[in-house]
């Protein structure tokens, strides 16, 4: 890849417009946990003033939630993520996202549905520990 294409790719946070239709379908078919996470924690800059996007296409994957400014990906894992083949795919996805410089936080559907305060606290603590200077008071 030439330098110009690399710059364009990295300056757009590795956005993959070819996955846009799939991302839209996933947004329209979100799990209850994803909807709760979005509505109660991440929509409209609720999380310490940071903008999050739902179902963001990054490279060859789609992140459940993504904050460009924090370089943070949040994944919500349902029961299928306990299956051996899905665990392997999750690891590949996480390794690739981390190689691009993103931090990946994972929560289960159960955590989001029954311990939303703990999920919120974990995300807030990560932001404070890693990006306190960016928090808008």
Q: What is the pLDDT of residue 89?
A: 87
Sheet bearing 53-58, strands edge to edge: 53-58, 61-67, 72-77, 103-108
Residue 59 and residue 9: Cα distance in Å, rounded? 9
The pLDDT of residue 6: 42
pLDDT at 88: 84
Distance separating the N- and C-terminal Cα atoms of the chain: 41
Domain residue limits at 75: 3-134
Say how many CA atoms lie within 13 Å of 53 toward its Cβ: 18
Structure token pair of residue 7: 């710059």
The per-residue pLDDT for range 20-55, each reduced to its tens digit, is 665 566 666 689 999 999 999 999 999 999 999 999
Q: Total structural domains in the chain?
A: 1
User: The domain spanning residue 70 has which CATH number?
Assistant: 3.40.960.10
pLDDT in tens, 100-129: 999 999 999 999 999 999 999 999 999 999
What pLDDT does 129 receive? 97
- The CA distance from 137 to 110, in Å, is 31
Q: Decide: helix, strand or coil at residue 42.
A: helix
pTM: 0.81
Query: Would you place residue 4 in the very low, low, confident or very high pLDDT band (cuts 50, 70, 90)?
Result: very low
Confidence of residue 73 (pLDDT cuts 50, 70, 90): very high
Q: How far apart are CA 64 and CA 81, in angstroms?
A: 14
């Amino acid at each position: 890849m030439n330098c110009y294409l690399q710059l364009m790719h990295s300056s757009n946070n590795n956005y993959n417009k070819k996955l846009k239709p799939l991302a839209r379908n996933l947004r329209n078919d979100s799990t209850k946990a994803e909807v709760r996470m979005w509505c109660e924690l991440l929509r409209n800059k609720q999380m310490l003033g940071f903008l999050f996007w739902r179902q963001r296409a990054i490279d060859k994957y789609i992140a459940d939630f993504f904050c460009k400014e924090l370089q943070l990906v949040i994944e919500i894992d349902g029961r299928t993520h306990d299956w051996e083949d899905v665990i392997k795919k999750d690891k590949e996805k996480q390794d690739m996202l981390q190689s691009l410089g993103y931090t990946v936080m994972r929560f289960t559907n159960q955590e989001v549905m029954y311990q939303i305060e703990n999920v919120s606290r974990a995300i807030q603590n990560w932001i404070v520990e890693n990006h306190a200077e960016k928090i808008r008071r």
